[in-house]
Amino acid sequence: MKVFNSLILPIYLSKMVVMEMTVVTIRLDKGGIRLQITKAPYGKVNGEDVSLFTLTNQLGMTVKVINYGGIITSILVPDREGNLADVVLGFNTLDQYLAEHPFIGALIGRYGNRIANGRFVLNGEEYRLAVNDGAHHLHGGVVGFHKVLWRTKEVRKAEGVGVELTYLAKDGEEGYPGNLTTTVTYLLTNENALVIDYTATTDRPTVVNLTQHSYFNLQGEGCGDILNHEIMINASHYTEVDEGLIPTGRLVPIEGSAFDFTKYKRIGADLEKVGIGYDHNYVLDHPPAELGLAARVREAKSGRVLEVFTTEPGMQFYTGNFLDGTLTGKSGRKYEKHSGFCLETQHFPDSPNRPEFPSTTLNPGEVYRQTTIYKFSCS
């Protein structure tokens, strides 16, 4: 599926340094197309510098990323009138990101979602992981990829600008085997698409399941709940879960149920039928490992539309059920329940303990690869 057009054009680079801020401007010599990267100080963690990268395209869409946790702090996109709004939840300061919060904007690894009882067996050997979600392991553990400092490199391509983040997770970190080298690239294109490419390699057999945990609100961050957003999910089954949100192993048809989003439906239409909200993995219908449509979300007032494409077999649809008003966002407003939704492309939860699910095992000599695209437009 073609989701953006590459521009094969000459590239001219100019660079200047002003007050510790590096500005890199890329000009493509046709049509006045301009993309820009800026890098600015964002504080320190354990004496090491944290940087804020700002990516801007010709349409004014802006993505901001910090190398602590690979966190997306802001995405500015236009509405149907051309007015920009920040459509992801987040904070104004590094201290707020260093404090406890529900993975807002962060890269997730070494294993996204849950592993039952914090254990799995690989090649006959049992591994015990950090337990941080009741009796279970969630999103990489206590100090997962969301709480580490990533090495960075600016990315310049004909179709966009971005930042490449790299992290070495050492053997035994959070209980996982193998030294795992992970690289994640955020690339902003001139078609208002944020392309996220993930790769990873290991020196011992291990398990890997990477994802991105931004909370979206297409009205704008701090503008109320997302229950009137309409969503379509390209899936005919979901992975049934128990009370601890651990898969039972059953892939359940969604047709006619509260989980059915095969056609546009308000997020809040059947919410009361699924308890406090959606926090479920959808089994995507596109061919395995091929880039395909996962979901499409639209918001009537602004006209904003978000499309998600991925090579992953699953996507966690989460409706911010555990936001409770204790966190104050960038706008100065409290983040109440259902203030944002997440579309976390992934392999299925607890796959290391479910041999019937697509495998998340990565062996030496292999390369883990995943691509997810968040593309914005207006209707």
Q: Which residues are catalytic?
A: 213, 344
Nearest to 52 by CA among 152, 144, 145: 152
d(CA 117, CA 47): 35
d(CA 266, CA 227): 7
d(CA 254, CA 237): 5
**Is the distance from CB of 205 to CB of 178 less than 8 angstroms?**
yes
The torsion angle over the Cα atoms of residues 193, 61, 96 and 316, rounded to 10 degrees, is: -30
